[in-house]
Amino acid sequence: MSVRAPTPLDGLISGFDQALRTLLPGPGAHPRRAYPAEALPPVRLAEPARKASAALMRVNHTGEVCAQALYQGQGLGARTPARRQALAAAAAEEEDHLHWCARRLQELDDRPSRLNLLWFGGAFSLGALAGLFGERVSMGFLEETEHQVVVHLEGHLGTLPPEDEVSQCIVRQMRADEARHAETARAHGAVELPGAVRWLMRVQARVMTTLAARI
């Protein structure tokens, strides 16, 4: 019996399903890997520190929502099995990040960004657009995205309240994973993006992080 090749409509349906699972996770949703801060004792933060940590972890949660959308959009244009597999493996680790950030927000008695649906749609569109320019450009877009995320997370490690060891532990693991994702994209033929494109990506990321921290 022959197997039907996936169509663009299949990709859109899969993307809609991923959006629902990302934005409205069911009771059975759980990470594949253990919570990085599982062994750390809970620490009650003073209110200023709690608010500061919650704002940063809300931004990180939104970043992981965008990551799910980005990988889903890029997957529409992936033609080689190796690149599809690389995207799927990275997306699985990003889903762990999503769960970890959501759990930390609950522990901090706070909430995700109310604009996550907007961020998901925008990131999905960017991923699909990058895929239209070919797999090597798409991988270049992924590599640059991950480089910028690593810089962003390093900034958070310097900004999080020092007593919030739980959030710091989560962010450190996320940073290590994102750096590895950038290396994977490079290994799969990523091309360097033009400077203007990299600048626009940084501006877009700055807008997202500023709004997500507040809304």
Q: Which residue type, as a one-letter code, is found at position 133?
A: F
Task: Find where tokens 């080689």 sit.
Answer: 80
In angstroms, rounded to a whole number, what is the distance separating the alpha carbons of residues 176 and 179? Answer: 5
**Number of domains into which the chain is organized:** 1
Structural domain contains residue 24: no
Give the tokens for residue 1. 């019996």
Neighbour tally for 110: CB within 10 Å: 16
195 Cβ contact list (under 8 Å, min separation 6):
none
Residue range(s) defining the domain that contains residue 59: 45-214
Q: Of the spans 6-10, 11-15, 75-79, 209-213, which averages the highest pLDDT?
A: 209-213
Structural domain contains residue 10: no
Structural domain contains residue 1: no
Residue 43: Cβ-neighbour burial (10 angstroms; 0-12, 13-18, 19+) = exposed
The pLDDT score that the predictor gives to residue 105 is 96
Percent share of the chain, pLDDT over 90: 48
Average pLDDT over every residue of 123-130 = 86
177 Cβ contact list (under 8 Å, min separation 6):
93, 94, 97
136-189 per-position pLDDT tens digit: 888 898 899 999 999 999 999 999 999 999 999 999 999 999 999 999 989 888
Work out the pLDDT band at 73, boundaries 50, 70, 90: confident
Structural domain contains residue 32: no
Give the tokens for residue 194. 């033009």
pLDDT at 81 over 70: yes
Structural domain contains residue 13: no
| Domain harbouring 98, CATH code | 1.20.1260.10
In angstroms, rounded to a whole number, what is the distance separating the alpha carbons of residues 100 and 37? Answer: 9
